[in-house]
Structure 1
Amino acid sequence: MSSDSPSLWRLFAGDVLQTLAAVALVAVLLFAVTGVWPPMVAIESPSMEPHLERGDLVIVSEEGRYAGPAADEHGVVTANESNGYGRIGETGDVIIFSPPSREESPIIHRAVFYVEKGENWYDEANHSYVDGADSCAELWHCPAPHSGYITRGDNNEYYDQAKDIAPPVRPSWVRSKAQFHAPYLGSLRLEFKAFF
């Protein structure tokens, strides 16, 4: 039995090394295709329902990769400028962003339109999404304190900027954009995250 032990350990070690090599190869390929790390995110809230639900796994890419035909200089297509192009169920790109003031998980919402610094964006806004404001003076972050995207979760009643969830999203805050999703595959990641 002792003469077999070294060969069993070699077989086991070989299997472990092959598995690790396969995982590393997949990781390298995903990074090469998407240009970002991590190349997948799990949806943590219902803010993007019905297009993205809690527990869905979203494959993301660098914002300039796979840009739609109406993409701006940052590689993002806003819903208002989409000319029918869209991702994840509606027009425009879904972006993943992290304002500096937000310490918890990044936000994944749709880029609706772009504003310039000092712009009165109330005039361009869909007034259904401005939380009852009747003018720019009644809105958070209006006029725009800096250039950036006005965003909204597909399931949210108001723009993120109308509820002070985030100021206009600077292009430098955009980490990636959603390309497609796999329902429920992110649930395991969310459950694992709950323990740490």
Structure 2
Amino acid sequence: MSLSIPKLPESKDPKINFIRDILLVFIVVAAIGGALFAVSGTWPALVAVESPSMVPNLNVNDLVFVVEENRYGGYMIMVEAEEAGKISFGGYGDVIVYQPNGQTGVTPIIHRAITWINESVAEEAGFTGDAAHAGYITKGDNNELYDQNAIFSEYGRMQPVKKEWIVGKALFAIPLIGFIPLHLFESALVVVLIIVIIELASRRLKKSKDNKSKGKKK
């Protein structure tokens, strides 16, 4: 018994075939996105590394698979992970993806959870007002300062990371593939170009076969 992939219906109009191929790409992408969400339990389920702050354990253009906290155990800070002997991306402490200072619509940060502080410790560390809340202290493996000791031009001083700000934790990474989402327009352009080339090649091959068939009939 053999399995065969059903052939998609073709139109005599090449424009319709082209539109069909583009729609097929979008359908496949949507299906993959749905499957990723079902497995990871969070969104985005994939994030691309944009900066060298986690080098050498995560590099620019790595594509990181992110999971919801309870899918693979809770978040572990550095001390907890060391006691459990659990290494994540070359070090102790889970690598988490979080919204900086709870801001949405901005690029999330992917750094290691170093420790957890309560509200009183946050106040002692100089956080005041609404910023004096419990949360995670985080750090990029390649950075000298903790995130909460640094000033970011986009966000100001980074506050302790509340649990509700966390998108998820990094599970594994695929090198270089992150180039695609980081350069989405260029990647989409390449996909469309490949589809056009395949369509033109298919039409030329079909025309060549038709001409040969006509020659044999004569």
Moved more, 77-86 or 178-187: 77-86
Aligned match of 2:176 in 180, 184, 187? 184
* Cα 1:101–1:16 shift into 2, 3 Å: closer
* C-alpha contact (below 8 Å) 2:41/2:67 kept by paired residues: yes
Unaligned runs of 5+ in 1: 68-74, 122-135
* C-alpha contact (below 8 Å) 1:81/1:113 kept by paired residues: no
Instruction: State how 1:89-104 maps to structure 2 within 5 Å.
Output: 89-98=90-99, 99-100=101-102, 104=106
* C-alpha contact (below 8 Å) 1:43/1:54 kept by paired residues: yes
Instruction: State how 1:68-87 maps to structure 2 within 5 Å.
Output: 75-82=74-81, 83=83, 84-87=85-88
> Shift of the alpha carbon at 1:172?
1.0
* C-alpha contact (below 8 Å) 1:141/1:161 kept by paired residues: no
* Cα 1:60–1:20 shift into 2, 3 Å: same
Q: CA RMSD in A?
A: 2.9
> Which one-letter code corresponds to 1:88 in the other structure?
F
* Cα 1:20–1:105 shift into 2, 3 Å: closer
* C-alpha contact (below 8 Å) 2:112/2:141 kept by paired residues: yes
More helix by share: 2
> Shift of the alpha carbon at 1:140?
4.3
Determine the C-alpha separation between the residues in 2 that align with 1:192 and 1:14.
21
* Cα 1:193–1:87 shift into 2, 3 Å: farther
Structure of greater Rg = 2
Is 2:34 the counterpart of 1:35? no
Equivalent position of 1:126 in the other structure: none
Instruction: Using the aligned pairs only, state the percent identity.
Output: 40
Determine the C-alpha separation between the residues in 2 that align with 1:11 and 1:193.
22
* Cα 1:103–1:141 shift into 2, 3 Å: farther
Equivalent position of 1:124 in the other structure: none
Aligned match of 2:108 in 99, 102, 106? 106
Equivalent position of 2:136 in the other structure: 149
Equivalent position of 1:167 in the other structure: 159
For 1:118, what is the secondary structure of its paired residue? Answer: helix
Q: How does the TM-score come out when normalised to structure 2?
A: 0.66
Deviations 1:41-63 (A, max 9, x none): 01111111110111111110112
* Cα 1:141–1:102 shift into 2, 3 Å: farther
* C-alpha contact (below 8 Å) 2:122/2:134 kept by paired residues: no
Determine the C-alpha separation between the residues in 1 that align with 2:29 and 2:181.
16
Moved more, 32-41 or 144-153: 144-153
Unaligned runs of 5+ in 2: 1-10, 152-156, 187-218
